[in-house]
Amino acid sequence: MTKVAGRLAARFEPTGLPMALGRTVMSLAQLSVLLFTPDAVLFAAVPGDPAGVGCGGLANLSLWCLTGTSPAALTTNRIIAIVVLMAVASGYRPRWTCVPHWYVTFGLSIGLTMPDGGARAAQAATMLIIPLCLADRRTWSWAGPPPEIPPAWRGASYAAHLALRCQIAIIYTSACLSKLLSPSWRNGTAMYAISNDPFYGAPDALHELLAPLFRSYAPLAALTWSVLAGELAIALCMLGPARLRRLGLTIAIMLHAAIIGVMGLFSFGLIMIGIVTLSCAGPVTSGDPLPTKGPPHARGHSPARS
């Protein structure tokens, strides 16, 4: 088992396209929140906390608590966070932007008055991918081949990658099991109530399109239970090889696109798609040399023949 894990870690590529794309999607989702949501909504006043910023304990170290809660401070912190997220979205210097990205995400997840599940999941994901990003010395994560990575660092990155996949599996398994506690999810009628919710329900045009499905039990139950099946399938895919995780990503895109369309949870859906994308990092392809030390022929290149 140890030898198998060692071989998997030696061939793991932490700095490929899934990492770049996943970070970009997550940061764009977070940017959408900061660019289009006013402070009065992000930090709504609640009893016992008129400022609306969740400070106290470790939260005092977050971006929105260090500088106070005056309007000027909130504006300054918003600008700082937007600059960081734009740098992450562009793929600039992953090694330099990964820790600031986590710090901004940490501040959003504990500082907002009503953070959603996506903010919490993003906080864990951005922390777990720090070892993977620190291994990337490129100026742009989109350009050029992945850099050579020392074996020890590659192993640490693989361990963080496994932890991320386990975290994703737990998130989707918990989401599925928590829904099963509700009778409406068990009997297959939950989607009717969700689509008619006055706050999170489907838009009028979509509601009219879905209306025929809600007139009989069979299609309504199939639609409701497909959500549970999708969440469980994503969780199981996270435990498999790269090609199975890519299937999980496809399911996640379909599931969260539907959630965005029905409930309008845009930033939450994009964050979860980005996190699942991160899980698709896989082994070095068979045509690539392993980035280990030694002369070229020791890394899989044959010496030139005369």
> What whole-number distance in Å separates Cα of residue 122 and Cα of residue 284?
26
* pLDDT per position as a tens digit, 144-180: 766 677 787 888 899 999 999 999 999 999 999 999 9
Q: Is residue 209 part of a domain?
A: yes
Q: Is residue 152 part of a domain?
A: yes
Kindly report the average pLDDT of the chain as a whole number.
86
Average pLDDT estimate for 195-222? 85
Confidence label for 212 from pLDDT (cuts 50, 70 and 90): confident
Q: Is residue 100 part of a domain?
A: yes
* pLDDT per position as a tens digit, 63-84: 988 887 788 988 999 999 999 9
* pLDDT per position as a tens digit, 224-255: 999 999 999 999 999 999 999 999 999 999 99
Asked if 133 and 72 count as a contact pair (C-beta separation under 8 A), the reply is no
Q: What per-residue confidence (pLDDT) applies to 129?
A: 95
Q: Is residue 296 part of a domain?
A: no
Q: Is residue 218 part of a domain?
A: yes
Number of domains, the chain:
1
> How buried is residue 79: exposed, middle or buried, by Cβ count under 10 Å (0-12/13-18/19+)?
exposed
Proportion of the chain above pLDDT 70, given as a percent: 87
Range of the domain at 14: 2-282
Q: Coil, strand or helix: which one is 26?
A: helix
Q: Is residue 120 part of a domain?
A: yes
